[in-house]
Amino acid sequence: MAADVSISSLSIGTYSAPRSQPLREDGKGASAARTGAAESTTGSAAGSATDTVTLSDAAQQQVQKLKQADTNVRRHEAAHQAAGGSHAGGASFTYTRGPDGKNYATAGEVPVDASAESEPAATIAKMEQVKAAALAPADPSPQDMRVAAQADATKLQAQAELRRQGGDGGGGGDGAAARAAAAYGAAQGLGSGAGRGAGLTV
């Protein structure tokens, strides 16, 4: 059992608009951009009055950037969800109100269950899917990469345990366990100090 390496409630897909597009005003710099399949009209638009307002060229350019960011954010998160299957939760988004009065998704994340299973073989299969979910977007964020590394480390430990259970060569199993421990330690370091059971955002 790899209960000591259980990581739960990781979040993948945290994505915000690229820095070249100053779309967010909350000062929170998310590490990855989220892509979406549809433009966000969630939230209260300024009503039909906005339909009659003529936007300046600068405002129109900002709206276009917001629309593109919204599309990218939703697509990014959808990729995480599709690859994560039953291990991935629903996407959540952070919105920015554009000069047209509409809200656009400019950041998002998808939680993924990356806890170890009771059986090593099940853990290995699960970690492969978690890694696939983390790396599913065309533009994985640094946090996505950390979640993938965490999944690899957990998978290595499960493989070492599976070898021990099968009685395959004591020396080889010990070497695999040492490598797994080292990989897990490295992944923990990448997680910015997040401990066991902590949530990560990619």
Answer yes or no: are the C-beta atoms of 13 and 112 closer than 8 Å.
no
CA 110 – CA 90 distance, rounded (Å)? 6
pLDDT grade for 144, boundaries at 50, 70 and 90: very high
Average pLDDT over residues 46-54: 53
pLDDT at 166: 80
Strand partners, 108: 15, 93
pLDDT at 75: 96
DSSP, collapsed to helix, strand or coil, labels residue 120 as helix
Answer yes or no: are the C-beta atoms of 65 and 21 closer than 8 Å.
yes
- pLDDT tens string 79-130: 999 999 999 999 999 999 999 999 999 999 999 999 999 999 999 999 999 9
Stretch among 11-20, 103-112, 143-152 having the lowest mean pLDDT? 11-20
Alpha helix (H) residue ranges in 85-167: 120-134, 142-166
